[in-house]
Structure 1
Amino acid sequence: MPDLSRYVAPASERPLDVVLDAAARLMAVVKVDGGLAHWEGAWSPREASWFDAIPEGEHFAAREALSRAASSGLPVEVELSVRTSDGELRPVSWTQTAVASAEGGVTHVIATGIDRAERDRVEERLRDLVDRDHLTGLLTRRRFEEELEQHVAHGRRYGMVGALIVLDLNDFKSINERHGHRAGDRVLIGVAEALANRLRETDLLARIGGDQFGVLLPRAKPPEAERVSQALEDAIPAEVRAPGDGRIEASVGFAPFTDTMSSVEEALLAADAAMYAVKAGHPRHVRRLRPLD
């Protein structure tokens, strides 16, 4: 078998693309008559013949690409589906390159492919790992701030609407100290579930710190944001079980988005300030600390 490494199609220079292409890469050594001499990849084709593994409707494209690769000596790109050993039809982007024998004639074609469905699946999984908090499954702060940036950008063009809520658990550190971090993790998971149960599908919920959560209400006016803030605050002691005989409570503040707001950082600072005012014992009517509109 000839050295195949020099026939592998180059991966993208972007690190993520390199990882995705490697995870979804396939390689086939195809005889010029269509026989399948060798296969490498995460799955195997159903048939031992190159053409038998490809749907009949794609045979013309498969034969034409194989013939061009064998005769021209240049890489030939082609989109061909392959049926796997379990019967699934996988769309694959192939690059085919001829391999010359010692006598100079072409006997095989190396086909390197990227399984597009597998690549998309791996990419979705990787992005989920980056965008989702590993403990609660909520959006991470980074992903949440990206959503806030889009919301603010849209507001600058069409008018600011909605509100940003920040929620912080009270005295959460003592739970970890007295009952251990596993108990603290269970509380955080319970809080995430309780908050999610109080929000609409259009609202965005994130874990933005150790025991701090953020909520984007994309269309809410201040009175509605106040009601939602109160509902979230009430949900924590009502639905989250505390270790031992303790009680879990939270402080909640919000900032409405207005045309005077210039950045996501300003929104987060305003919501934070409102939340800390509540935590400091101020009356609930100052939950919205800054009159931004």
Structure 2
Amino acid sequence: MAVMQPACFLTLPSELRNSIYTYVFDSLPECEELDAPPERLLLLSAPIFRFENRTTYLDSAYHNIQARRKLAVLATCRQIHDEAHLMALSKTSFHISGECTYPDLFNIKSRPLNPSKIGAIRHLTLTARISHLRALNETWGGLPFGHAGLDLDTLTIIPRRPDCSTSAYAEVADLSQSHTLAYIFAETLKSLRNVGAVEVRNSACFNDVVWRIVYRSLVYRTWRWGGECCGVRFEASPDADNERDAWFKVHFGDGKTGSDVGEEVIRLAGGEMPDRDAPGM
């Protein structure tokens, strides 16, 4: 008579295991970098793929506790790691910063990841000074980070002001930076592909007046370039007294989220379509 083996997770049908993995990894919190030096940026994900050293999925010094607890299941055994690490990659929002905006540095930092693992990444958050964000339309060539292997659902961008914004000329510098940022985003959106949505967070970078200038200028520039319906849709956080946590999103494709650029221009203009050739538009 055959001896019945005790049931365990690995004896479950693969469909059930995949459902459990989805439940565990779904809605993972963003993996925050805590003042990580530039040379550590994208290497934060490299330990995932050296399971023989029994490393944890994420470096505990650089990521929040909730994410580490969920991702720690990948260190349970080799089979679970092999079955679930691509799903974990697709659910995790990796946070990079600084000069990784530039494709050459991004490529260097991402070399530990083979193409299948790069392709599994769906969410990236970039924190960078506005001067570094120029790379978005100057060197990316229409691809996120200039990398043909990336196909993102969301790209989140958190701009940072230059040091001069703390000087006596801070207000003038902020106004200048707001127009620069709007120009960078508008030029980037014209050709960007392999991205489902771009989210831009204020995160206390600008005051409420300057932040509204950034958003309005971006919408108007996009409208003047592509007309009332140019393949992107806009969504913005509700107006509030404190814009510290304000954000806006630009959605690509034929989705239903957000408003067509023409609709958003009418809303920002107070209900009437402005003249596209009017000065200052």
Q: Fold match, TM over 0.5? A: no
Bigger share in strand: 1
Q: TM-score, normalised by structure 1?
A: 0.25
Q: TM-score, normalised by structure 2?
A: 0.26
Bigger share in helix: 2
